[in-house]
């Protein structure tokens, strides 16, 4: 026969079950507390746009500027020198080109330089009249505080002409342009607008390199061709909260 303690234990279990049933009927099922998300401090919140889907995405960065445009030191070569840039090789000459002066002297391949904006009187170009091309690289280092790097570029399609992005953390990439392609219908030395999405590389040191690996070619008969139609020119680098790019000029990203 069960003892008195056994009966007491059974009564306690039954009472607890009835009390739980009462809570469920009167208040509904017990809910877990909602999860909370901690958001780090930021000077501003920007609406980013994915280039492939154009879906808006809210993202914040501790270093992000509240301005819509931020200059890059030396980005438009306004000093008339490569001050602020690291120069490797001889491909870009000893100094930037003065667009107006180049037009006056006829220092262009087919037609005068045009399409320059933002008052950029100077630009870097791996083109020199009456001289065979040689390899060269220009690079500058900056910290992205806005999600886009905007600039102007002239470049025909070539595996030897490109912009290279090298972050201090993460994986870099190279972008190849063709500002003479059919969709852009540019058949002159006109500078096109370009924009690189730097969202994933914010708040770290970034090296931006303009690379020309073009060299003279030689025929079997010994004739040397200058390849002067294969050159790259850039100017007007600045940071921006929104992209500004001529459609159809990017042909490859690696």
One-character DSSP codes across 67-100:
SSEEE-TTTT-TTSS-TTSEEEESTT-SS-EEHH
In a domain, 17, yes or no: no
In a domain, 219, yes or no: yes
Task: State pTM to two decimals.
Answer: 0.74
Read off the CATH number of the domain in which 204 is found.
Answer: 2.60.120.260
Give the pLDDT mean for 73-101.
95
More confident residue, 66 or 25: 66
pLDDT digits (tens, 9 = 90+) for 4-18: 555 545 554 555 555
Give the pLDDT mean for 193-202.
96
In a domain, 74, yes or no: yes
**For 203-218, b where at least 16 C-beta lie within 10 A, e where not — what string?**
eeebebbbbbbbeeee
In a domain, 96, yes or no: yes
In a domain, 124, yes or no: yes
How much is the mean pLDDT over the chain?
79
Structural domain including 138 reads 66-253
What is the structure's pLDDT at 124?
Answer: 96
In a domain, 51, yes or no: no
More confident residue, 224 or 62: 62
For 9, other C-beta atoms within 10 Å of its C-beta total 12
Of 16-25, 76-85, 177-186, the poorest mean pLDDT is in 16-25
Tally of domains within the chain:
1
In a domain, 246, yes or no: yes
CA angle 149, 151, 153 (to 5 degrees): 135
In a domain, 46, yes or no: no
């Amino acid at each position: 026969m069960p003892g008195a303690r056994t009966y007491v234990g059974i009564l306690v279990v039954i009472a607890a079950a009835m009390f739980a049933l009462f809570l469920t009927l009167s208040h509904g099922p017990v809910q877990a507390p909602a999860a909370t998300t901690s958001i780090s401090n930021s000077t501003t919140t920007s609406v980013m746009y994915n280039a492939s889907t154009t879906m808006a995405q809210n993202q914040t960065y501790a270093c992000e500027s509240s301005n819509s445009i931020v200059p890059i030191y030396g980005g438009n070569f306004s000093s008339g020198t490569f001050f602020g840039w690291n120069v490797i090789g001889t491909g870009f000459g000893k100094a930037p080109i003065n667009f107006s002066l180049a037009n006056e002297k006829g220092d262009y391949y087919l037609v005068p330089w045009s399409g320059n904006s933002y008052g950029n009187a100077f630009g870097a170009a791996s083109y020199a009249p009456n001289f065979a091309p040689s390899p060269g690289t220009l690079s500058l280092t900056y910290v992205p505080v806005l999600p886009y790097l905007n600039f102007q570029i002239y470049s025909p399609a070539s595996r030897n002409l490109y912009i290279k992005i090298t972050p201090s953390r993460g994986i870099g990439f190279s972008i190849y342009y063709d500002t003479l392609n059919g969709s852009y219908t540019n058949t002159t030395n006109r500078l096109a607008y370009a924009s690189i999405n730097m969202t994933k590389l914010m708040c770290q040191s970034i090296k931006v390199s303009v690379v020309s690996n073009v060299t003279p070619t030689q025929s079997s008969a010994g004739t040397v061709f200058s390849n002067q139609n294969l050159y790259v020119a850039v100017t007007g680098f600045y940071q921006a909260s929104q992209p500004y790019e001529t459609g159809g000029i990017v042909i490859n990203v690696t």
